[in-house]
């Protein structure tokens, strides 16, 4: 589904990604961990098509297409979903209208008929129930005045509505209380399917208690320096990153 080969990216001539290799198959959950400033958010931004970053080497294939060749909105329409570490607020645009436009644009891209208002509302009700989102959140402006937890829950709702093939959740757990964490994790788990893959970027083992990864990778100084199964997250929680840094420097 996703094959990243020797990906290098820079900003203002500063190289941040320095040769990322990663392969994700349908249905897999991969966790990416690593110290602050390692390049985790940069990797998600580059995959999403953020033009601040310049890709100067390497390739990314997504469903057999050259991802780097696609405009950001086409990446989304191809089924890439990125949950931002800091979600934006869009005053004056209600969640309902925002989501209806997004969902119908995706359908148009797949040459499917747009949903009518009633079909859309039905879908929205189903998905809200699935991810346990309060009904009044969707009547408000996108993220405006939402608490940290509400923004994150809202992102999971957006993900449920768009049914992406690959979802990248960048620190979706930061600032969440235990309850919101559970809602987010449950939402992700309920959306799991043999065709859908997830990349979870996180600092904390606690999220991975709920969203159990097939693989855990450590990103350090712009490279994946270690990959293993879910036990690696426990080991990192216990021992921190110093041993990995030392292994890498050696
Ligand atoms: P992580 O998500 O792993 O904490 P980031 O990808 O946010 O790391 O950052 C990796 C490095 O890239 C850091 O040194 C950071 O300062 C730098 N960086 C990220 N975004 C920018 C930017 N817009 N301008 C300059 N440097 C940036
Ligand atoms: Mg960071
Ligand atoms: Mg980050």
Whose C-alpha lies nearest to ligand 1, atom 26?
11
Shortest-distance ligand to the CA of residue 53: 1
Both tokens assigned to 151: 């923004």
**Residue 2 in contact with residue 58, Cβ under 8 Å?**
no
Q: Are 83 and 191 in contact (CB under 8 A)?
A: no
CB of 118 closer than 6 angstroms to any ligand 1 atom: no
Q: Would you state the pLDDT for residue 86?
A: 57
Positive or negative torsion for Cα 241, 244, 176, 214? negative
**2-249 adopts what CATH topology?**
Rossmann fold (3.40.50)
pLDDT digits (tens, 9 = 90+) for 188-223: 899 899 999 999 998 878 888 889 999 999 999 999
Question: Which numbered ligand comes closest to the C-alpha of 16?
Answer: 1
CB of 86 within 6 A of ligand 1: the answer is no
pTM, whole model, 2 decimals?
A: 0.91
The atom number, within ligand 1, closest to the CA of 222 reads: 10
Answer whether 16 contacts ligand 1 (Cβ < 6 A): yes
CA 102 to chain centre: 17
Closest ligand to residue 39's CA:
1
Ligand 1 pocket check for 40: Cβ under 6 Å? yes
CB 56 within 8 A of CB 10: yes
In terms of Cα–Cα distance, which of 145, 139, 138, 211 is closest to 173? 211
Ligand 1 site, residue 51, Cβ cutoff 6 A: no
Looking at the predicted structure, is the pLDDT value of residue 10 above 90? yes
**What confidence tier does 187 reach under pLDDT thresholds 50, 70, 90?**
confident
- Three-state SS for 32? strand
For ligand 1, whether the C-beta of 45 sits within 6 Å is no
For ligand 1, mutation pick of 41, 53, 203, 217 (most atoms within 8 Å of CB): 41
**pLDDT value for 202:** 87
Place of tokens 């959950």: 29
Residue 173 is predicted with a pLDDT of 62
The percent of residues above 90 in pLDDT, for the chain, comes to 60
Domain boundary assignment for the chain: 2-249
- Model confidence pLDDT, tens digit, residues 115-157: 999 999 999 999 988 888 777 778 888 878 887 778 878 888 8
pLDDT score at 94: 85
CA distances from 45 to 108, 159, 173, 204, 214 (A): 25, 17, 18, 21, 23
Local confidence band at 250 (pLDDT 50, 70, 90 cut-offs): confident
């Amino acid at each position: 589904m996703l094959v990243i080969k020797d990906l290098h990216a820079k900003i203002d001539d500063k190289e941040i990604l320095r040769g990322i290799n990663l392969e994700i198959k349908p249905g897999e959950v991969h966790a990416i961990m690593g110290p602050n400033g390692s390049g985790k958010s940069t990797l998600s931004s580059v995959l999403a098509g953020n033009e601040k970053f310049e890709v100067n080497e390497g390739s990314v294939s997504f469903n057999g297409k050259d991802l780097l060749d696609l405009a950001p909105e086409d990446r989304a329409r191809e089924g890439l979903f990125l949950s931002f570490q800091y979600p934006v607020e869009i005053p004056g645009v209600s969640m309902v209208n925002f989501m209806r436009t997004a969902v119908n644009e995706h359908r148009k891209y797949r040459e499917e008929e747009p949903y009518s208002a009633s079909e859309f509302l039905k879908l929205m009700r189903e998905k809200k129930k699935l991810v346990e989102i309060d009904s009044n959140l969707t009547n408000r402006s996108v993220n405006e005045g939402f608490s940290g937890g509400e923004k994150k829950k809202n992102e999971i709702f957006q993900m449920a509505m768009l049914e992406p093939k690959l979802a990248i959740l960048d620190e979706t757990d930061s600032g969440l209380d235990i309850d919101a964490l559970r809602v987010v994790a449950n939402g992700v788990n309920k959306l799991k399917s043999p065709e859908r893959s997830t990349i979870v970027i996180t600092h904390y083992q606690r999220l991975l208690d709920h969203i159990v990864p097939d693989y855990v990778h450590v990103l350090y100084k712009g490279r994946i320096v270690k990959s293993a199964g879910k036990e690696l997250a426990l080991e990192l929680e216990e021992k921190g990153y110093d041993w990995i840094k030392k292994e890498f420097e050696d």
